[in-house]
Structure 1
Amino acid sequence: MKPYQRMVRAVLVPAVCALATGQHARAVDLDSVRLDDSARVAGKSLVLNGAGVSRQLVFRIYAIGLYLMDRKVSAEEILATDGPRRIAIAVLRDISSDDFQNAVADHVSRGTQQHDHVTVRSQMAALVKAIARRPDGLREGDTLTMDWVPETGTVVQINGKPLVAPMPGLAFYKALLSIWLGESPADPSLKPKLLGRSLS
């Protein structure tokens, strides 16, 4: 194995193992990445629905896992459910707040109903500003979790610590999901993987 490959593997394995926390679980192997196959959100056990690694040129940027109460095979089913959910991202390469906005946040409005547009854009702006307040944005090795907690809202944490106050309204969480599961996803290669095709 080449030195660069060893370095990548050394980053991937410990970073992504931290994606799902709260209970011991079996691991799922994904392109030399190991993810727990379950997580716990709002007191409920969730299963890993799908996962993938986002790439830019030859670089791995982040690994992402989607956790649901029950396996779903379509984006429509996932967006329609209202139970606890988790989007977990292991950062594999430094991402500035500008890069985060360009790669992810700018896609948020595509899955938003017109009457929710202003609120959702405002909430996403608050999330981007919170990341911008961190001296170096998102750093390699960071773990970002975005949970939907019924009766609370969207709970965003970095490395297990709250990043912003909970954001009310299911529309914002659906807009987050649509970044990867919408008709024009930020990374088209990830959509089928988050729908579980890589785990079948």
Structure 2
Amino acid sequence: MKKKLLCAMFLLVSHSTQAVELKGVALPDVVHLGNSNLVLNGAGVRSKFIFDLYVTALYLNAKKNMATAVLSDLGEKRIAMYFLDDISAANLLYSFDEGIRDNHSATELAAMKEELHKFDVICHRMVRLKAGDVILFDYQIGTGTQVWVNGGLRGTIAGSTFYNTLLKIWLGEKPVQQDLKLKLLGGF
């Protein structure tokens, strides 16, 4: 009886810690960032026309299924982008800029002018991303937004507000892709 109970517990635990896989990309259920273990909140594929561009995943301190709850969360966060196809930094930056403009007023954009410029500089340094490349956008309390490409830190934008600017690309009122927003909010 003990063996059966142990086997059942092992299967339950091993099943709950399995990574999600999308388009051949294994996404861990938990990642460590700063002093926090973040859980996979949701993940999906960004598609444009008939092309799958990247898999993206959202990690939070605790699962949330409402965009307002994610945006008001003051804890550490991570957006991970796993590229499925090659893309130039200019095209990626254009899509980021478009997502940011679509979800912010002219007044809000003017107030973020410095942060947006720093983000543009960081993105232009990437030159070209290839299939298999990974970008991490990490938010850490006291540090701000960090941009990592393939494990190398590309730049940091201080403060707590810019990260939500990025999150709104995927979770704002006018997300880059509505079904991706739902998947990032736990709809897998």
Q: TM-score scaled to structure 2, two decimals? A: 0.83
Letter matched to residue 151 of structure 1: G
Partner residue in 2 for 1:96: 88
Matched residue count: 172
1: CA distance between counterparts of 2:103 and 2:57?
19
1:72 counterpart residue number: 64
**1:155 Cα deviation from its structure 2 partner:** 0.9
Q: In the alignment, does 2:139 pair up with 1:169? A: no
Q: Any idea what SS the aligned residue of 1:104 has?
A: helix
Deviates more, 1:86-95 or 1:120-129: 120-129
Shift of 1:96: 1.1
Q: Distance in 2 between matches of 1:130 and 1:42?
A: 22
Confirm or deny that 1:145 pairs with 2:136: yes
Unaligned runs of 5+ in 1: 1-24
Asked if structure 2 preserves the Cα contact closer than 8 Å seen for 1:97 and 1:131, the reply is: yes
**Structure 1 counterpart of 2:138, one-letter code:** D
- Do structure 1's residue 28 and structure 2's residue 20 form an aligned pair? yes
Question: TM (normalized to structure 1)?
Answer: 0.78
1:193 aligns with one of 175, 178, 183 = 183
Higher strand proportion (structure 1 or 2)? 2
Which runs of 5 or more residues in structure 2 are unaligned?
A: 1-16
Partners of 1:63 and 1:89 within 8 A in 2: yes
Q: Residue 182 of structure 1: CA displacement?
A: 0.4
Contact 2:22 2:55 in 1 (8 A): no
Amino acid at match of 1:75: A
**Percentage identity across paired residues of the two chains:** 34
Give 2:100's aligned residue: 108
Q: Is the 8 A contact 1:109 1:120 kept in 2?
A: no
Larger radius of gyration: 2
Q: What SS does the aligned partner of 1:189 have?
A: helix
Contact 1:45 1:69 in 2 (8 A): yes
Does the C-alpha gap of structure 1 residues 52 and 41 become closer, same or farther in structure 2, counting only changes over 3 Å? same
